Amino acid sequence: MKEIDWANLSFGYMKTDYNVRCYYRDGKWGEIEVCSEETLNIHMAATCLHYGQEAFEGLKAYRCPDGKVRVFRMDENAKRLQSTCRGILMPELTTERFEEMVKKVVRLNERFIPPYESGATLYIRPLLIGTGAQVGVHPANEYLFVIFVTPVGPYFKGGFATNPYVIIREFDRSAPLGTGIYKVGGNYAASLKANKMAHDLGYSCEFYLDAKEKKYIDECGAANFFGIKNNTYVTPKSTSILPSITNKSLMQLAEDMGMTVERRQIPEEELATFEEAGACGTAAVISPIERIDDLENKKSYIISKDGKPGPVCTQLYHHLRNIQYGIEPDVHGWTTVVMD
């Protein structure tokens, strides 16, 4: 195998040795299978291809300074996948089966887990698809659950640095009673055009307001938003955004630091009052926000006056990463050692 340049990995796909698979047939899940093929052989009338019966998750394995390999809150990914399954009528995997498959695929691809010093991680992508053939709009009777892994560098090239965002009103990523609370591919397809618009305008990402009234903050691209002011961590309460495991963890850490945590509607004009703000998710952990431009109303909400990440974002970022890497005590029992 040619040497991997760990320090310069992109957030992209690299072939690894194995993936793990499990098939749902005749009303039950089968045995876990190990596969070295990168492709899936599925029916052309599979429901995942026509009616969007597919769900995915994203989590990471970290090679830590103590030599161990840890995974962060995989039970929460299992629960979120179960919630998505209930939402789009797919059979649920048990948390135990999900965790067993995550551990197995990480161990099988141990040589692709980047060294601690590199800043890179092993990204883990569980995928559940409807494989049964249907021409009518109905749930499939057969499904495939697969987990593959790939080593990745930081999501944002600049690492932990502030980024500019732009409010896009012409598109909604999801609707209040739609699939926004589930991790389905359709939500990401719905964001591609707005994301391209934001990039073409020179912004890091697009910023969505609520689909119903266009008054309240919803999401930063595919990431959750949070703002900091008066020793308070504020994040949107909305029925159209994905419950982020990173955001859930940051809320707990903010409380641990003595901050007040508020989950509520955030009117757009409140952006002017935040001392700090960030977008959070598995890929970047926290992407601090420099400013949010509202081009239609010729407004710019400058959040970072000096263009640097603020002290609370910085503290939260390092605290969470240090837990993930086994450097700071894991008082909430979030990490699982998958390899000693």
Q: What is the pLDDT of residues 193-244, one digit of tens each?
A: 999 999 999 999 999 999 999 999 999 999 999 999 999 999 999 999 999 9
Structural domains of the chain ordered from first start? 19-152 (3.30.470.10), 163-325 (3.20.10.10)
How far, in Å, CA of 214 to CA of 152, rounded? 35
In this structure, is the dihedral angle defined by the CA atoms of residues 332, 334, 338 and 340, taken in order, positive or negative? negative
pLDDT of residue 158: 74
pLDDT of residue 154: 83
Residues 284-297 have pLDDT tens digits of 899 999 999 999 99
Residues 63-105 have pLDDT tens digits of 999 999 999 999 999 999 999 999 999 999 999 999 999 999 9
Three-state DSSP at 52 gives coil
Residues 147-194 have pLDDT tens digits of 999 999 987 777 799 999 999 999 999 999 999 999 999 999 999 999
The residue-averaged pLDDT of 30-39 equals 98
**pLDDT above 70 coverage of the chain, percent:** 99
How far, in Å, CA of 149 to CA of 174, rounded? 28
The residue-averaged pLDDT of 303-332 equals 98
pLDDT of residue 1: 54
pLDDT of residue 251: 98
- Burial class from Cβ neighbours inside 10 Å (0-12, 13-18, 19+) for residue 124 reads buried
**Residues carrying an active site annotation:** 183
How far, in Å, CA of 265 to CA of 267, rounded? 6
Residues 319-335 have pLDDT tens digits of 999 999 999 999 999 99
State yes or no: pLDDT of 311 exceeds 80.
yes
Pairing mode, strands 335-339 and 69-72: antiparallel
* Separation of first and last alpha carbons in the chain: 24
Residues 184-202 have pLDDT tens digits of 999 999 999 999 999 999 9
- CA 272, 234, 332: angle at the middle one, nearest 5? 150
State yes or no: pLDDT of 2 exceeds 90.
no
Closest CA to 57 of 135, 133, 123: 123
